[in-house]
């Protein structure tokens, strides 16, 4: 009996691993919520809606999820419980939203809002990643190009100059070329070690994460993007939680799990604890430099009117537009700096190569 139980447990773990490897993308998730909302508006039951979604589904990962959810519902489990079995795909806030709507009965509306939120968040996240990846890629490609030139091209060109006295910049480049040729493999290992160490430190060393996350909130231009991103996420998620009937304490507990920046995560935990102690959201946020003062005042005005969810939804649109403008402003600052960086590197290489050539031409002309 114990052997069969162990085999069954191993089989479940293996199936779970296979499912995670075939995890559907964000577009599949957005489509899932939108079609489920449409099915609910059409009056279909949850299980019948999932069966209709299963038909025509071609993504293997989504097929596995839908089939398991249908089986779970057949066995009497709730939709939130069925989703919870696939927490590698469904986020905790999405599961709690569904759990609340199963009680309040406004599932179709909340599911549609969730789909809209996912689409907006995906667009914002992609834009933020692009704004960060673009300069990184340019710098990396520039460095790789310089290394290739120094290791393979520079030595060949320098041989043409013979024993003439070389300019300082050319001599520096020759020394750098010799250093790279002698230590290229160690430098590769070192670069890999630096990237890996950074990731491990950020993930496992709390003090390092606090410093990096704090630095992002202090750097010029970047701090504005980070702050607007989190205020957008705060307003849109909190409005969804309130609309779905999730309690404020649970809402802020979910926000603390969703937010990645340590300082915002810490603030959400503090607000949750303050709410448990009997304070209002306004009192818990008052004086925080992580949020705009006007947002805190709006929360103060509308918190006790019962329309906070509607107001937060409107404000989230404003922060979304402001965030897009801030990202564009960030790129407008970064692009000239990148061009100057690349131009400086190219200028030094050209100077190192052509200055000795100019000296040779001058010597030949004098002779």
Query: Which residue in 251, 234, 233 sits closest to 242, CA to CA?
Result: 251
pLDDT above 70 (res 3): no
Report the mean per-residue pLDDT for the chain. 83
Nearest to 237 by CA among 328, 320, 129, 127: 320
Least confident among 70-74, 84-88, 96-100, 162-166: 162-166
Say what the pLDDT of residue 274 is. 94
pLDDT for the residue 144: 82
For residue 201, what pLDDT band results from cuts at 50, 70 and 90? very high
**According to the model, what pLDDT value does residue 13 have?**
62
The more confidently predicted of residues 93 and 207 is 207
Q: Is the dihedral of CA 308, 311, 317, 318 positive or negative?
A: negative
pLDDT at residue 184, rounded to an integer: 80
276: pLDDT strictly greater than 90: yes
Residue with tokens 């750097």: 219
Considering only residues 37 and 159, tell me which one the structure prediction assigns the higher pLDDT.
37
Name the CATH superfamily, with its identifier, for domain 106-367: Type II secretion system (T2SS), domain F (1.20.81.30)
The pLDDT tens digits of the residues spanning 104-129 come to 777 888 888 888 888 888 888 787 77
Task: Spell out the long-range contacts of 325-333 with Cβ–Cβ below 8 A and sequence spacing 24 or more.
Answer: 326/221, 326/224, 326/225, 326/228, 327/127, 327/128, 327/131, 327/225, 329/221, 329/224, 330/131, 330/221, 330/222, 330/224, 330/225, 331/131, 331/134, 333/221
C-beta of residue 309 within 8 angstroms of C-beta of residue 104 = no
Q: What is the DSSP string of 40-79?
A: HHTT--HHHHHHHHHTT---HHHHHHHHHHHHHHHTT--H
Confidence of residue 196 (pLDDT cuts 50, 70, 90): very high
Structural contact between residues 144 and 128, judged by C-beta atoms closer than 8 angstroms:
no
Place of tokens 């480049």: 173
What's CA 104's distance to the chain center, in Å? 32
Residue 263: what pLDDT?
95
- Give the percent of the chain with pLDDT over 70: 90
Question: What six digits make up the tokens of 157?
Answer: 């060109």
Residue 356, pLDDT > 80, answer no
Statement: residue 162 has pLDDT above 80: no
Average pLDDT of the segment spanning 255-264: 92
In the chain, where the domains are located: 11-90, 106-367
CB 299 within 8 A of CB 103: no
Return the residue matching tokens 């199963």: 102
Q: Cα-flanking dihedrals φ and ψ of residue 138, to 5°?
A: -60, -45
- Identify the pLDDT of residue 230: 92
Q: Please check whether residue 294 is in contact with residue 235, taking contact to mean a CB–CB distance below 8 angstroms.
A: no
Query: Does residue 172 carry a pLDDT above 60?
Result: yes
CA atoms of 221 and 15, how far apart (whole Å): 46
Phi/psi region, residue 291 (left: phi>0; alpha: psi -120 to 50; beta: rest), is beta
Kindly report which listed range (44-58, 279-293, 341-355) carries the lowest average pLDDT score: 341-355
pLDDT in tens, 301-325: 887 776 788 888 889 889 989 988 8
User: What is the per-residue pLDDT for 1?
Assistant: 46
pLDDT tens digit sequence for 27-41? 888 888 888 888 888
């Amino acid at each position: 009996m114990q052997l069969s139980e162990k085999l069954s447990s191993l089989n479940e773990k293996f199936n779970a691993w296979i499912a995670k490897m075939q995890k559907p993308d964000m577009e599949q998730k957005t489509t899932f919520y939108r079609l489920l909302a449409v099915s609910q508006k059409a009056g279909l039951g949850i299980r019948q809606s999932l069966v209709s979604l299963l038909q025509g589904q071609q993504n293997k990962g989504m097929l596995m999820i839908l089939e398991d959810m249908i089986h779970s519902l057949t066995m009497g489990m709730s939709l939130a419980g069925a989703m919870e079995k696939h927490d590698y795909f469904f986020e905790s806030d999405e599961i709690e939203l569904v759990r609340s709507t199963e009680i309040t009965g406004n599932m179709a509306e909340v599911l549609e809002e969730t789909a809209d939120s996912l689409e907006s968040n995906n667009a914002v996240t992609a834009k933020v990643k692009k704004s960060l990846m673009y300069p990184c890629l340019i710098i990396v490609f520039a460095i790789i190009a310089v290394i290739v030139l120094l290791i393979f091209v520079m030595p060949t060109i320098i041989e043409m100059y013979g024993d003439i006295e070389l300019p300082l910049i050319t001599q520096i480049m020759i020394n750098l070329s010799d250093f790279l040729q002698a230590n290229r493999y160690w430098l590769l290992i070192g670069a890999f070690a630096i990237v890996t160490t950074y990731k491990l430190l950020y993930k496992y060393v709390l003090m390092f994460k606090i410093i990096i996350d704090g630095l992002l909130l202090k750097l010029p231009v970047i701090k504005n993007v980070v702050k607007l991103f989190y205020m957008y996420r705060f307003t849109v998620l909190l409005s969804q939680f309130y609309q779905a009937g999730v309690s404020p304490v649970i809402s802020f507990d979910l926000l603390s799990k969703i937010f990645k920046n340590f300082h915002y995560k810490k603030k959400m935990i503090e607000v949750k604890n303050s709410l448990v102690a009997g304070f209002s959201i306004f009192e818990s946020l008052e004086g925080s430099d992580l949020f705009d003062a006007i947002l805190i005042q709006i929360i103060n005005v509308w918190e006790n009117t019962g329309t906070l969810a509607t107001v937060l939804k409107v404000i989230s649109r404003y922060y979304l537009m402001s965030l897009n403008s801030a990202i564009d402003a960030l790129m407008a600052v970064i692009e000239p700096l990148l061009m100057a960086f690349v131009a400086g590197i190219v200028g030094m290489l050209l100077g190192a190569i052509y200055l000795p050539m100019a000296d040779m031409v001058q010597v030949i002309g004098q002779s």
